[in-house]
Amino acid sequence: MVLVYLGFINIAVESEVKVVENLGVTDVEQAQQTTPFLILKSVSETEKVFYDTQHTVVEEYGQLSVSGRYMVDKEGSPVQLRGMSLFWSQWMGKFYTQETVRWLKTNWNVTIVRASMAVEDVDGYLNNKAREKAKIFEVIDAAIEEGIYVLVDWHSHHAEDYIAEAKDFFSEVAEKYGDTPNIIYETYNEPLDVSWSAVLKPYHEEIIAEIRKYDPDNIVVCGTRNWSQRVDEVVNNELSDKNVMYTLHYYATSHKENVRRLTETALANNIPIFVTEYGVTDYSGDGEIDVASANTWWNFLDENKISWCNWSIADKAESSAALKPGASGKGKWSENEITESGLMVRAEMKAKNSY
């Protein structure tokens, strides 16, 4: 029997293989999205549903690296990852679960998730090291199991004040997970108004050296001055490591052509950029959603193969939160539990991510 691949859907079945006669689009749309399957059609026009054997994104792309201004896969072809950032670990820890990561992969089509290790403030890493590390490790383990990439973020605005702690954290992550291609390191979330040359570059060099003791290959993303927006200042003053990218953050309602011009300067000089955090709201994480600006930014990122993580998987009462207050930390959110911004970003990923 000849079987023709038609695509993949999510449908709940109880047996290993289920034959479906005259399976229509309406039936598929109404099916519960629980486990991915492939739709295969025989020459007899009988449609069958089998367990999905499609490769995961990590199996497809493999070991990522940097070539020129692009993130590239194991074959050297440019790739773009799209996914979600979790909120500060100490304040939204209920979403740091295997179930959340699995749901984001299967229902939101993420190819990457960002685990945001809160450093300062009440109950962050500095005060609750073991507890916060356990949250990050659970997300990393879940991402590896689900076959997606994971961005391990040192979520601080003053990381240069905690170099020893950052070195300890990243060395532990690198030693534990450095042999897996899923890992991407983010050494500094959002520096404030501090010098790239005098403060940030030396900081990143120290942390990268610690990571490279255990992990020679995986990409390291490095924060830039002024809330990770001055990627242009890296030009002619790059880090020497061959697998480094530079962080750009924006919020679509607040940051528009002015920030894109800075980004274009960096790109024109072969600076590889990763948008590790952005929102479709204003810079506060709240306020109005600017749909036109969000779409302009998405088009710009697509044109330049720039990967991104949206802020954030949280149920905080603010417009950048993807979920409404009271949403479960175990995934399986209905559309009624997803906010306007969450629905926008989810639709963007489902339309463009193929895994």
Active site residues: 190, 277
SS3 74: coil
Q: Can you read off the two tokens belonging to residue 10?
A: 């999510």
Task: Decide if 38 contacts 4 (C-beta within 8 A).
Answer: no
Q: Can you read off the two tokens belonging to residue 133?
A: 């590390």
Q: Which residues of 75-100 are buried (b: 16+ CB within 10 A; e: fewer)?
A: eeeebbbbbbbbbbbbebbebbbbeb
Of 320, 233, 313, 214, nearest in space to 273 by CA: 233
d(CA 223, CA 196): 9
Residues facing residue 250 across a β-bridge: 278
Task: Decide if 170 contacts 188 (C-beta within 8 A).
Answer: no
Task: Supply φ then ψ for residue 18, to 5 degrees.
Answer: -130, 125
Task: Decide if 84 contacts 113 (C-beta within 8 A).
Answer: yes
Q: Can you read off the two tokens belonging to residue 66?
A: 């940097």
327 backbone φψ class: left, alpha, beta (φ>0; ψ -120 to 50): beta
SS3 content of the chain, % helix, strand, coil (to 5): 35, 20, 40
* Contact residues for 226 (Cβ-Cβ < 8 A; gap 6+): 191, 192, 193
Task: Decide if 222 contacts 200 (C-beta within 8 A).
Answer: yes
Cis peptide before 334 (omega within 30 of 0): no
Task: Decide if 64 contacts 218 (C-beta within 8 A).
Answer: yes
